[in-house]
Structure 1
Amino acid sequence: MRTSARIASVLTGLTLALGGVALTAPAAHADVTACINEVERELRGGEAPDSIRMACYVGLTGDHEQCVTGLTGSGVTNGTAVSACRVAPR
């Protein structure tokens, strides 16, 4: 394989890899934000404390039960916690 073809292949691979990261990163952030927004609706304008943000992050990893436990432990009603944790991993 010629050097110029090899360099072109490597650059194409890097472009595709970095483009994939750029496309998935905002989606992950939006999921945590959606979870936090569900809780903040219950707080009626109040900002979610760090304990709620952390519980939503746990929900992003797919641990639904731990997410609900973290949110209810922070004073969120069970119904809101379940719906917020449901939107986190999407």
Structure 2
Amino acid sequence: MRTSTRVAGVLTGVTLALGGAALTAPVAHADVTACINQVERELQGGEAPSYVRTACATGQSGDHAGCVTALTKGGGVTNGTAVTACKVAP
């Protein structure tokens, strides 16, 4: 086997191995906790009520509008904070 063919084969193998590792690496993203923390900053009253947790879980599932509605209708959360919190949920 020629050296150039061997080098090409090794480089291909390394590229595939590294590419596969990149595809399987966990994706860093915001979650329910980030959403809850955003709301708690506004409420400034300790732990968020259960409706906040439920709303943020709704946002994480992809229902942004449902998350915002649940936070603003639940009481005490302004629309701006709800929008920001729900954006970080998914």
Please give the TM-score of this superposition, normalised by the length of structure 1. Answer: 0.65
Q: Does 1:63 align with 2:63?
A: yes
Secondary structure of residue in 2 paired with 1:46 = coil
Tell me, in whole angstroms, the C-alpha distance in 1 between the residues paired with 2:56 and 2:32.
6
The residue that corresponds to 2:4 in the other structure is none
Question: What is the aligned-residue identity percentage?
Answer: 68
Q: Does 1:31 align with 2:27?
A: no
The residue that corresponds to 1:84 in the other structure is 85
Tell me, in whole angstroms, the C-alpha distance in 1 between the residues paired with 2:74 and 2:47.
13
Tell me, in whole angstroms, the C-alpha distance in 1 between the residues paired with 2:46 and 2:69.
20
Tell me, in whole angstroms, the C-alpha distance in 2 between the residues paired with 1:78 and 1:45.
18
Larger radius of gyration: 2
Aligned Cα RMSD in Å? Answer: 1.9
After TM superposition, the runs of 4+ consecutive aligned structure 1 residues lying more than 6 A away are: none
Show structure 2 runs of 5+ residues with no match: 1-23
Show structure 1 runs of 5+ residues with no match: 1-19
Higher helix share: 1
